[in-house]
Amino acid sequence: MARSTRESILTAAAELMRHRGYAAVAMKDLAAASGAPIGSLYHHFPGGKVQIAREALVNAGAAYGMLIPTLVDPHDDLGEAVEALFAQAADDMAATGYANMCPVASVAAEIADTVDELRQATAEIFDGWLDGGAAYFTKRGLPPAQARDVTVALVGALEGAFILARTLRSREPLLVAGRVLAPGYRGVALGAHAAVPG
């Protein structure tokens, strides 16, 4: 598990942005958290802070995009899957002391109007989640239009419930989201298990 300096910088960036967003993370913090001196940050990322943030978000986004397929995969009924998904997210959040699971949404909200390079990056990540989720649910037998709607609704509801849950330090928003969304999908059968995209 010998990680390169580059990787440790990106890992540190994702970890710090997960908690503080973009503007509140300083290059000095990235140097301290990664163990690399400031000079190395600019050696590996000549584009500076924006480039580091962009690559860290892309990495984190790819990992996070497998969350829905991974958690849905064991289930054969879409309603059950949805309820389990939100219950699992609620438990994870509570277990981590209501820290954010993923830096993408936090950063996206902060920079959508100001740092266009990052807005484009977060948009591509979201698009990847939506396309990947739609492809996954299509493979499990849903009609393409429903597969996409389910994915968009799940990602949106998850992100919104994450913000509420984190701020209120309560599992309620996540549990309610699952409870409200699941009935509409109860009885919708999921077909043969597909390989989780990666």
Contact residues toward DNA (CB under 7 A) are: 5, 25-29, 36-40, 42-44, 46, 48-50
**Residue 127 binds to its own copies (criterion: CB under 8 A):** yes
Which of 157, 171, 188, 190 is in the footprint of its own copies by CB under 8 A?
Answer: 157
Q: How many residues can be counted in the chain? A: 198
Q: Does 69 bind its own copies (CB under 8 A)?
A: no
Of 52, 20, 57, the closest CA to residue 34 belongs to: 52
Instruction: For residue 102, count CB atoms less than 10 angstroms from its CB and return exposed for 0-12, middle for 13-18, buried for 19 or more.
Output: buried
Residue closest to 16 by CA, chosen among 24, 7, 8: 24
The residue within the footprint of its own copies, chosen from 52, 110, 188, 190 (CB under 8 A), is 110
Residue 109 binds its own copies, judged by CB under 8 A: yes
Closer by beta carbon to DNA, 49 or else 140: 49
Among 99, 144, 189, 191, binds its own copies (CB under 8 A): 99
